[in-house]
Amino acid sequence: MNREALRDRLREYYLLTRLDRPIGILLLLWPTLWALWLAAEGWPDLHVLAVFVAGVVLMRSAGCVINDYADRDFDRHVQRTRDRPITAGRVSPREALVLFAVLCLLAFALVLTLNRLTILMSFGGVLLAAVYPFTKRYTHLPQVVLGAAFGWAIPMAFAAQTGTVPKLAWLLFTVNVLWSTAYDTMYAMVDREDDLKIGVKSTAILFGEADRLVIGILQGLVLLGLVLAGRMAGLGGLYYLGLLAAAALALYQQYLIRNRDRQGCFQAFLNNNWFGAAVFAGIFLDYLNRLGA
């Protein structure tokens, strides 16, 4: 393979892993950082932090690959996805499976540098990542499975940092499942008409005309769960200021989806990056303030 062909092949892998669209990495990274800071009650161990940040990038990339492999026959019928590398024929299904395996092995190699509990829990994360893309064929709740897959890093982070998985970890995991269901429903609203035609299931289809109401209820439960997490962790005023900012962003997202148009729903989905960042800023600043006190 000459240099130009190699460059073209790597570009297709780059597009397949969605590294050109980092929103998925950020939505996975923020709750992981929440967990690491809360588990450490401040700055986490730098090695643990590095492993989890790299792991987020690798596993999100792997998730995109297996998702496109699973959806290769559906994607050509959806406006937003018809030009993806596998469905467009630029990457073969076999290549995609090999790439998925390589990314998972690289992530597992990182996990092997952590404690035994974290290593054992990593198998659950890989299983969730592999199963999620196929759930939309059988249930209208694939967004819930995505939330579990994205949130599995939370108990793993506590396991890596403290050697245990306390109640706080599972509370944050539940919060993340609810949050992921809310924002991925916004994302599914973009494709709802196409999905109805091809038979793909989603919470956007399940909720129907009640979609905005259900998303609002989920957002409220997320904020309530984060308040409970803050009380459990003994966090102070700066954390709750972060939650106030997150609540304002949730209201803005409701405004964006008010007409259920594709662009507004997609912008609301993207805005959840700032929601996650606001929560982390509250956690980070609260612990930083304690150091300066």
Give average pLDDT by consecutive 10-residue segment, the chain, 293 residues: 80 90 94 98 96 95 88 73 82 91 94 96 91 85 90 97 97 97 95 83 92 97 98 96 98 97 96 98 95 68
Under 8 Å CB-to-CB from 151, ≥6 apart: which residues?
31, 172, 173, 176, 177, 180
In DSSP notation, the chain reads: --HHHHHHHHHHHHHHTTTT-THHHHHHHHHHHHHHHHHHTSSPPHHHHHHHHHHHHHHHHHHHHHHHHHTTTTGGGSTTTTTSTTTTTSS-HHHHHHHHHHHHHHHHHHHTTS-HHHHHHHHHHHHHHHHHHHHTTT-S-HHHHHHHHHHTHHHHHHHHHHSS--HHHHHHHHHHHHHHHHHHHHHHHHHHHHHHHHT---HHHHHGGGHHHHHHHHHHHHHHHHHHHHHHHT--HHHHHHHHHHHHHHHHHHHHTTT--HHHHHHHHHHHHHHHHHHHHHHHHHHHHHHH-
Half-sphere exposure (CA, 13 Å, Cβ side) for 235?
A: 32
> In terms of Cα–Cα distance, which of 215, 285, 213, 220 is closest to 246?
220
By residue count, the chain amounts to: 293
Under 8 Å CB-to-CB from 54, ≥6 apart: which residues?
107, 110
- pTM listed for this prediction: 0.92
d(CA 253, CA 269): 8
H or E segment and range at residue 111: helix 93-111
Q: Reduce the secondary structure of 261-279 to three states and give it as a string.
A: CHHHHHHHHHHHHHHHHHH
pLDDT for the residue 172 = 98
Q: How far apart are the first and last CA of the chain?
A: 60
Cβ neighbour number for residue 21 with a 10 Å cutoff: 11
Under 8 Å CB-to-CB from 80, ≥6 apart: which residues?
190, 191, 194
